[in-house]
Copies of this chain bind each other. A is one copy, B any other.
Amino acid sequence: MTTTLIRQVRLNGQQQSRDLLIEQGRIGRIEPHITPPPGAHVVEGGHRLALPGFIDGHAHIDKSLWGMDWYVNEVPRELPAIIDNERRFRREQAFDSRRQSERIARQAIRLGTTHIRTHIDVDTEIGLRHMEGVLATRDALAEQIYIETVCFPQSGLLGRPGTRALMEEAIKLGADYVGGIDPSSFERNPVAHLDAVFELAAKYGKGVDLHLHEPGELGAFSVELMTERTRALGMQGKVTISHAFCLGEVDPGYQDRLIAGLAEADIAIATTAPANRQVPPYEKLRAAGVRVAAGNDGIRDTWSPYGNGDMLQRAMLMGLKYRWRQDRELAQALHAITRGGAEVMGLKDYGLEVGCRADLVLLAGQAVAEVIAEPPRERAVFKAGRLVADRGECLF
C-alpha cells in the first residue's frame, strides 16, 4: 500500500493548513510540515478544506434511475399508489438493480461519499433481485465505498404472504439491518409489524432501521412501541428510526418525553430534512445524546425526480430546513453528513485524527459554511488513503 503525503490542507475548515501523512490506509501523522518519506506519493492540498468522507445514512441505491432515460413522473401522491406504481414499473421495464446501484454509488463517490447505508426492496415480485444486485455492487466497489445494507419490505411485511420468508433469506444473504415501514398507517397493524421486524432482527442478531412517515400522535405511538421493544430485547444502540417527522409535530412536552425515551434506549434518528414536512428537532435530539444521521433518500427514482447523490447538497437542504445561518449552526449540518452518520452506522476509526482510516474529501472553499451553502463540484476523494475520484471523475 502506498504512502501518501497530502500537503497543506485545512482540516475541517481550520485556518491553519497541515500536512497529512497516510500510511497503510490510515492517517499516520498530522503536522504543520512533513518531509515526504522516500517513495511517498505527494498530493498538493493547496490550502483546500479537508473534510471526512461523507456518509449517506439513508439511501435507496437499489432503485435509482440515474443515467437512464428521463422518467416522466405521473405518479399519484398517496403512499400505496406510489409503491404500486413502482412495482408495475419494474415488471414492465426489467429494471437492473445491479447496474443502477453501481451507477448511483459511483455518482456518490465522485461527490465525496465514502459510506452509505442503503435500504433495499424485498418483495414477492422482485424477490431478492435487488438484494443480490446491491450486494454485488457492494463487493465490486468495496475498495471505493462502504455500503451497509437494510433489507426493506417496501410493499409491507404483513399483507403479502411469503415476504417474511424472503426477508429471512435477505438476512442470510448478508443484510446488515432489518427494515420496516409505517406500522399503523401503511401496515394497519403496528404490533404485528413491529413484532415481526424486531423478532427477525433479534433472531439473527441484526439491528433495525425502520421508515416512519406517520404523522403526529400516530407516529409518536410507533416511536413508543419501538422504544419499548428496543429495551425489552436489549437492542440498545442497534435501532434507527428513519424520517420520524412525527417528532417535529407533537407538542413540546410529549416531544421531550419521546426524546428521553430514544436517548435511554439509544435509538438513532436518520433525517433527510424534507422541505415539505416537519422534521425531528435536531438540536434537542443531539442535546439529549441521540445520534442523528442525514441521508439523501431516493435519488431520481419513480418516487421523486430530485437529488444528485451529493451529501453537501443534503447539508445545504438541512441548513435551509432548520434555518441554520450562523457558521457554527452550519457546522451541525457537516456533523450530520459525517460524524453523525458514523455514530449511527457504528463506524470505528472514522474522522480526521491520527489513527483514523484515511477517508476524506478535499475541496476549495474559505469555510465549511461556504461549501455547504454552495457545494463546489470539484472534489478529490480519498478512500482508505487511495484517491478514488477527482474533478468529478471516478478513478476506477
- Which A residues have a C-beta under 8 Å from some C-beta of B? 69-70, 72-75, 77, 273-276, 300, 303-308, 316-317, 319-323, 325-328, 330, 366-367, 369-370, 372-374, 377
Contacts and interface: CB of A to CB of B under 8 A. Distances in A.
A73 B308 contact: no
A138 to B, nearest CB: 25
Contacts of A377: 377
Nearest to A318: B275
B73 A321 contact: no
B73 A325 contact: yes
Contacts of A320: 274-276, 306, 317
Nearest to A70: B366
A interface, by DSSP: helix, strand, loop or mixed?
A: loop
A275 B313 CA distance: 14
Contacts of A367: 70, 72
A134 B322 CA distance: 32
A392 to B, nearest CB: 11
Contact of A326 (B73, B308, B326, B366): B73
A300 B70 contact: no
Nearest to A273: B275
Nearest to A320: B275
Given A326-B73, A373-B300, A316 B306 contact: yes
A88 to B, nearest CB: 16
B322 A305 contact: no
Contacts of A77: 323
B369 A305 contact: yes
A343 B49 CA distance: 44
A330 B327 CA distance: 32
Nearest to A374: B308
